[in-house]
Amino acid sequence: EICTVDHQKDGKIRVDAKITYSDCNHEAGVYAHEDSVAENDNYFKVYQPSAGDNLHAPDDGYRRYNEEGEVVIDEEVTMDSVAWWNMACGRVIGMLNGNLIEYDRSTLAPLGLIVGADELVGKRVAVVDSGLEGECGIDGEEEGMEGADCGGQLGREQAVLLYDGDGDITVVQPNEDGSYWRKIVRNKMVRMKEVRRIKAAKAFAAEKLGKGEESNVVSSWRPYTTTS
């Protein structure tokens, strides 16, 4: 039985569903009642990506990489925008209610906020390679650089960019552990990768937006701004 404990009614137990197992591989579930919804309930609707399976394609929000190995969402983000993609490292990022969200790579359940709607709405999004040629020399004996590499998992380092038509670009920097939802501890190796992502953003502005030195590139760790 699957039950709910109602703490407002002295711990009253309500049976929600019953599962019957015929063997180790087969089961049947029966709901015990309809959904209970109060008149004043205002639920927050969460978009959860669907990766599909061998018979079904991913949902319409899934964005594939183009021939240049980039994801470019060249349309302004709105509160209703729906899109998600896999990073080269396997992490999953998408949009929900105007926010940039990281999803669990296995269940695709939301993990946490990356960029809030106040910063994302009205911008465009791109994912580009940031392991730039000639920028990956690493001295493994230097303090703070132990275990460092250029490309990260799968030999590929990427930058998530937010940009607009004026050539202003924000680089969304990941956390030290490679995740993007906001929990920040940074060391020298991480800062070096951040610099490379900024250079990748400037290259994107020059090649795709026709902007040169006048492009404005900044980094974002929002919604949190502290490094502790």
Which pLDDT score, from 0 to 100, does residue 194 have? Answer: 83
Q: Is the peptide bond before 223 cis (omega within 30 degrees of 0)?
A: yes
Q: Which three-class secondary structure state does DSSP give residue 125?
A: strand
CA distance 108 to 81: 18
Where do we find the tokens 């002295």? 10
Where do we find the tokens 């906020």? 113
Is the pLDDT higher at 47 or at 44? 47
Mean pLDDT of 183-196: 70
Mean pLDDT of 196-210: 89
Its sign, for the CA torsion 101, 118, 130, 134, is negative
Mean pLDDT of 16-28: 87
The per-residue pLDDT for range 58-101, each reduced to its tens digit, is 999 999 999 999 999 999 999 999 999 999 988 999 998 899 99
In angstroms and rounded to an integer, the radius of gyration of the C-alpha atoms of the chain is 22
Which pLDDT score, from 0 to 100, does residue 169 have? Answer: 92
The per-residue pLDDT for range 132-184, each reduced to its tens digit, is 655 555 455 556 545 455 544 445 789 999 999 888 999 998 888 888 987 64
- Cα atoms in the 13 Å half-sphere on the side-chain side of 89: 20
124 — pLDDT class (breaks 50, 70, 90): very high
Average pLDDT value over all residues in the chain = 81
